[in-house]
Amino acid sequence: MFTPYHPSAVFCYGFGMTNDPIHLSVVIPAFNEEKKIAEDISIATDYLDRQSYVYEIIVVDDGSRDRTADVARDAGRQKPQVRVILQPGNLGKGAAVRTGMQAARGAFAVFADAGACVPYTYVERGLQILVGGEWQHELDIADRHGETGR
């Protein structure tokens, strides 16, 4: 499926979505990650499929010179929650994250680096804090070492 999607993206590949409101969008910026991206998508969908909310995963290929986009598209073919957006060139991680966040349709959005270096259980704790009202800010920044800042 070829659909122009975002002004800074060349193409967005999506395989349909549910009509339910999306609770969580996970953005995975990727540059030359053909060896990791399928596992990243598998780890994310395996975890998120066990949750009670609707989610989407947006892989943003930042102008990779390898088969990152093809591998991501193939890995998400059976998962309608997975979309792949292609940047028009290597614009950098920040641009890939921005593109993914602008395309996100979830009430909450996070980005996860390729390589599954942060467990998705951390996302759940963050959602608990945000949904439970413990945190009253529009943006929260945290790292895998447990430190937070404002």
| Torsion, CA 113, CA 41, CA 82, CA 80, rounded to 10 | -160
- 4, part of any domain: no
- 5, part of any domain: no
- 90, part of any domain: yes
**Is residue 12 within 8 Å of residue 6, measured between CB atoms?**
yes
Residue 67 has pLDDT above 80, yes or no: yes
Nearest to 73 by CA among 32, 16, 14, 25: 14
For residue 149, give the 3-state DSSP assignment: strand
For residue 37, give the 3-state DSSP assignment: helix
Domain residues for the domain of 121 are 11-149
Question: What is the number of structural domains in the chain?
Answer: 1
**Is residue 59 within 8 Å of residue 84, measured between CB atoms?**
yes
| Residue 76 to residues 8, 108, 139, 142, 146, Cα–Cα distance (Å) | 22, 21, 28, 28, 30
- 2, part of any domain: no
Residue 85 has pLDDT above 80, yes or no: yes
Mean pLDDT of the chain: 82
- 61, part of any domain: yes
- 3, part of any domain: no
CA 23-81-68 angle, to 5 degrees, is: 125
**Is residue 107 within 8 Å of residue 27, measured between CB atoms?**
no
The crossing angle, in degrees rounded to 10, of helices 68-76 and 37-48 is 30
Confidence of residue 24 (pLDDT cuts 50, 70, 90): very high
CATH label of the domain that carries residue 137? 3.90.550.10
- 89, part of any domain: yes
* Amino acid identity at 45: T
pLDDT in tens, 117-145: 878 888 888 888 777 766 566 655 555 55
**Is residue 64 within 8 Å of residue 93, measured between CB atoms?**
no
Cα–Cα distance for residue pair 12/35, rounded to 1 Å: 21
- 1, part of any domain: no
